[in-house]
Amino acid sequence: MIGLDTNVLVRYFTQDDPEQAAIANAFIEDALEAGEPLLVPTIVTCELVWVLDAAYGFARAEIGGVLADLFRTRQIELEDGDTQRRALDAYRTGPGDFADYAIRESGMAAGCDFVATFDRDLLGERGFVEPGAYPSR
């Protein structure tokens, strides 16, 4: 198995740097043809979403499509795959960033009751609570 860094996936999906994109394309396609599994850690997915949005101006729907395609690729292994898939589902319809939902889903999978946040956009979402709204123990 080979782990993928964010910059390799950015080159693959944006084709912005012809030299690096050609290398990334060949690397990924060769690995897939050889049957070599490729690992996408959760942090890489979070970074990928941020870069596609902030640096390249991809729309939320475009990013959702990129992730859906990536997640469907047979030889792509996702770190905490169920968590990433649930985070993608929430990202596609919710106001938060992919990372927000990855944090929530990771916490829930670990047994957390909720995620404490000051992010007002998330406070109406399942699993997010303002720290001051929860009584101290």
- Between CA 29 and CA 49 the distance in angstroms is 22
Q: What is the pLDDT of residue 62?
A: 97
pLDDT one-digit tens code per residue, 102-114: 999 999 999 999 9
Q: DSSP 3-state assignment of 3?
A: strand
Q: What is the pLDDT of residue 137?
A: 55
Give pTM, 2 decimals. 0.92
- Between CA 97 and CA 53 the distance in angstroms is 10
Q: Identify the residue whose tokens are 């949005």.
A: 53
- pLDDT-derived band at 136, boundaries 50, 70, 90: low
Residue 122 has pLDDT above 70, yes or no: yes
DSSP code string of 45-88:
HHHHHHHHHHTT---HHHHHHHHHHHHH-TTEEETTHHHHHHHH
Per-residue exposure over 106-133, b if at least 16 CB sit within 10 Å of its own CB, e if not: bbbeeeeeebebeeeebeebebbeeeee
- pLDDT-derived band at 90, boundaries 50, 70, 90: very high
Q: What is the pLDDT of residue 133?
A: 79
- pLDDT-derived band at 134, boundaries 50, 70, 90: confident
Q: Identify the residue whose tokens are 């997915």.
A: 45
Torsion, Cα 88 90 92 93, to 10 degrees, reads 170
Q: What is the pLDDT of residue 132?
A: 85
Residue 135 has pLDDT above 90, yes or no: no
Percent of the chain with pLDDT over 90: 94
pLDDT one-digit tens code per residue, 21-71: 999 999 999 999 999 999 999 999 999 999 999 999 999 999 999 999 999
